Every structure is written in C-alpha cells, then in structure tokens.
Amino acid sequence: MLFIATLCLGCQKENIADFTVLNEISIKTDITDYEVTQFDTLKVNPVLTESKPNGDTFTYQWKMYSYFSGPNDGTIISREKNLNAQIGLAPGTYYIQYKVTNANTGVSSFMLYNAVVNGKFYEGWLVSGNKAGKAQFSFIRSDDALFLSPSEDFYKVSYPGKALKAFAGIGRDLSLIYFFTDQGAYRINANDFSQLSGTNGVLPGAQNFSSNIMYGNNQGLYDQYIVKDGGLYAGFGPTFYVAEILKPFSERFSGDYQLFPGVISSKADLTYFYDNKYRHFMSSEALTRTLEVAIGSNNATYNLGNVGKTMLFMDYGSQSYNQDEFYFLMKDDANVRYLYSLKGTTPGIAQVIGNSPGIENVSAMATSSLLKQMYYATSNSIYLYDILANSSRLVYQFPAGYTIADIELLRSTSKRMAVAVNQGVNGEVYYFDLDNTGDFTGNTYKKKFTGFGEIVHLSYRKR
C-alpha cells in the first residue's frame, strides 16, 4: 500500500510539473444591448485584459446571427479589435458574437451582445392625407425625422383616389402596413415602404372603399382582421409563416350584421366587434371564420349581447395579456352620449356622460392607459373628460380656421398626444406632452411638423 501511494504521488508531481498557465483574455463592455438602423454604422469598443501579458498576438472576429439560428449560420461583420461596421442585415433581432483568439496558443475568449436592427422607418406616426390631388401617407419617425411622401420619393409610386387610413401590423416582426384609399387597399413593407401587393392581394374583387375601414390583429397574434363597410374579413396573423401572412384575406364573414369599424382585441383567443345594426357585441374565436353574438349577462353593468346603443368611437385603455381594456363612446335614440368599457370579457363602465361641452360633436377621441381619462376633439378644441368625476374641461384650443382631424395617444407611455389639424388643405401635426393630471405641459405644444396635405388619419407604427 505504501508503494502504491508513493507511485501515485510521483505521478501527481509529474502532472503538476507539466502544467502551464496560459495567457487568457477577459472582455468587458459597459453596454451589451445595442440598436442600429439598417445601413448605419454600429460601434463597440470592448476593453480587453490579458491574464499573463507576454507579447502574444491576437485575432478578432465579430459575427452576427439571428435569434432563430446559431453562430455557424452567422455573418462575419468585422475582423478588427473594435467594431466599426455598417450593418446591412435585414431588420430584426440578433446576437453579436465577439471572438478574441490568442494566435500563439489558439485559445479563444467570447462575448455575446444583443442587437436590434431597425428598418429606416422602424417606429413612428403614420399620417394619412391628400396633397396635390394624390393620396399619400407620411411618416414621422420616433427620432422626429420627417418623410412626407416616402413611397413616391423612394419608389415613384403614387396611389389613386383619396386617402382614408393607414395601419401597421404588430407582433413577432409583422412588418406590414395596410394603406387604404377610396379606390384600393395596399399591403406595404413597413421596414422600407416598398409595396408588396395591391387590392387583389389584400381583398380580391373589392373596388370601392369608405372611411368605415379598420385593420387590426387579435391579441394572440393568430389572425389579422379588416372591417370594411360593416363586413368582417380575416387573414392569418404573425404566429404563422410569412407566406400565410401575405395571402389575401377571407371572404366576408357570413351573417346579418353591420360592424362599427373597430377590432376589440381584449382577449388572446377571442376578438370582439360591435354590430351597429342590432346594437350588440359580437365575437370571433381565433382561427375561425365565424361571427357570433357575444354571450352576455343581465347581471353585469351591461349585457354584451343586448347593449341597445350605437357606437361612435373606440380606443384602448390599459393593456395586459388577456385583459386589455377598451373604451367606447356610444349614443342612444335620444342622442344622449354614454361611455362604456370592456376589460377582457368583462363589461365595465356604463355611464351617461355629464357636463361635457361639445360632446355631441366629437370628431376624434383618445383614452389614457394610465388614468381614467378620455380626450375628445370638437372643431378646433380638445377637452379632457374625467371618467370618475364625470365631467370635462377644455385643455387646448387652436386658433380660428383650424380643424382637428385626429388625436392619438402614444400608447407606450400615455404621456404624449399627437394631434393632426388642418387649415384648409394644409395639414400640421403637433406633439403635446401630458403632466400627471393629464393636462398639456405648459399649455403649449412640444413639437410641430408641417408640409402635409389635408390630413385624415393618424396611427402609430411600433417597432
């Protein structure tokens, strides 16, 4: 036993004698998450520290690959120590792998970064309007860059008829915009504003369109919906492959109904709509192409299946998975105005609107996701309706000769309002920041954008 122990100790000493401490590299950067606009330059300057400096030489590699692939499928974007490269990859979410290799020992060290590549038009306001006899949509990017007519400027594409509305799809890189004029529907790539398909690729056979048009996703991202002149149409949503997303929408859902142009995505697998013909809510389950009268109860604040009011406007309230909140401005046969709400599948507020000047002449409305407040516009004035106090106050008035075309809250914060106004055929967009009481900060606008034609609609494109 002593002899065996001596042999083992001898081997152990020999192994220790042969061990060599290698010079290793540690990589450190203060930031590991980056954003870059496509074709712009991304710069990263890592700090490298050698564990045993001895004059070794190193090689460097920066490789970029998508969340759905691996490093073997990546693209090498630089072989320099510091990254200073133009990023030409398609918009999306990526990993960046930084590899530092000791040329003398072959030992490599790695660092992984997250990167978002935004398209040139990654996020901002879509402004639909008409200028010089042409329908157009403009874009105010979130960094305040203004593109008045990107389709025409970049692709020499113009749209016939009068502009109605433009909407952006959301969820899982659904980079689509749907632009509607009174003569057609157009599916557009939201990253570069190139046209993907015209009317026959969206709603085959459709010819005439009116302002009673709406596009939206269901909350679970299984379906896209279009409400056109009271009829409902559906296409597959961003849960599915691109080939399915880009197919034409279905035929009109069968049934006797006349929908308000709104998509009420308050629940993941069940989407609500409102029938102004029979004045009740209707619902459609995800991936079905049927529309049913919503199941309600007389014990709730109101019965979903028997409301008895006409819907005039709708907007988001608070947002949460399977429990999104929506608000509705309604009227009855006596022309009295009401505010209703729905959260998930549960009826909420159902109250007569009191002490609210001009509530019979609303041209646009927007509701906060933070406070129990609704804004509404009449002619050149904006009012704030305190839902709990059930009364309204004037918060801003444009000069005589101005008409408010649309108001929208920046949904991510509910702390900024975009207001589109027209002075004749010339349109302007204003940003107002909101304080903790919902009033306009300083009682004036934060930014102003000009150069539009007559504006008809605002909507927001999320990245």
Calculate ∠ Cα 421-224-169, nearest 5°.
45
Which amino acid makes up residue 315? D
Is the domain of 293 the same as that of 389?
A: no
Structural domain contains residue 206: no
Structure tokens at 414: 């509910």
Q: Which pLDDT score, from 0 to 100, does residue 13 have?
A: 47
Is the domain of 110 the same as that of 172?
A: no
Is the domain of 68 the same as that of 144?
A: no
Residue numbers in the chain where pLDDT is lower than 50: 13-17
Structural domain contains residue 276: yes
List C-alpha distances in Å: 359 to 312, 365, 409: 11, 10, 19
Is the domain of 222 the same as that of 297?
A: yes
Is the domain of 235 the same as that of 325?
A: yes
- Residues, the chain: 463
Q: Measure the CA–CA gap between 373 and 385, rounded to whole angstroms.
A: 6
Structural domain contains residue 49: yes
End-to-end CA distance of the chain: 72
Is the domain of 283 the same as that of 216?
A: yes
Is the domain of 222 the same as that of 344?
A: yes
Query: Closest Cα partner for 449 from 163, 231, 215, 145?
Result: 145
Structure tokens at 323: 């429990």
Select from 88, 118, 148 the last residue of a domain. 118
List C-alpha distances in Å: 294 to 212, 273, 286, 315: 22, 9, 14, 19
Structural domain contains residue 134: yes
CATH number at residue 54: 2.60.40.10
Enclosing domain of residue 114: 23-118
Is the domain of 248 the same as that of 345?
A: yes
Q: Measure the CA–CA gap between 398 and 429, rounded to whole angstroms.
A: 12
Q: Measure the CA–CA gap between 194 and 114, rounded to whole angstroms.
A: 28
Burial class (CB in 10 A: 0-12, 13-18, 19+), 278: middle
Structure tokens at 222: 């299984």
pTM for the model: 0.83
Rg of the chain's alpha carbons, rounded to an integer?
A: 29
Select from 328, 352, 376 the last residue of a domain. 352
Select from 352, 371, 399 the last residue of a domain. 352
Q: Which pLDDT score, from 0 to 100, does residue 12 have?
A: 52
Is the domain of 363 the same as that of 306?
A: no
Structural domain contains residue 285: yes
Q: Measure the CA–CA gap between 52 and 63, rounded to whole angstroms.
A: 27
> What is the DSSP pairing of strand 163-168 with strand 124-131?
unpaired
Burial class (CB in 10 A: 0-12, 13-18, 19+), 444: exposed
Q: Which pLDDT score, from 0 to 100, does residue 242 have?
A: 83
Is the domain of 225 the same as that of 342?
A: yes
Which amino acid makes up residue 8? C
Is the domain of 414 the same as that of 452?
A: yes
Q: Which pLDDT score, from 0 to 100, does residue 147 have?
A: 96
Structural domain contains residue 54: yes
Give how many domains the chain has, as a whole number.
3
Tokens 């309706």 found at: 385
Q: Which pLDDT score, from 0 to 100, does residue 73 have?
A: 86
Structural domain contains residue 66: yes
Q: Measure the CA–CA gap between 126 and 145, rounded to whole angstroms.
A: 12
Is the domain of 217 the same as that of 343?
A: yes
Structural domain contains residue 107: yes
Contacts of residue 322, Cβ cutoff 8 Å, sequence gap at least 6: 219, 267, 268, 344
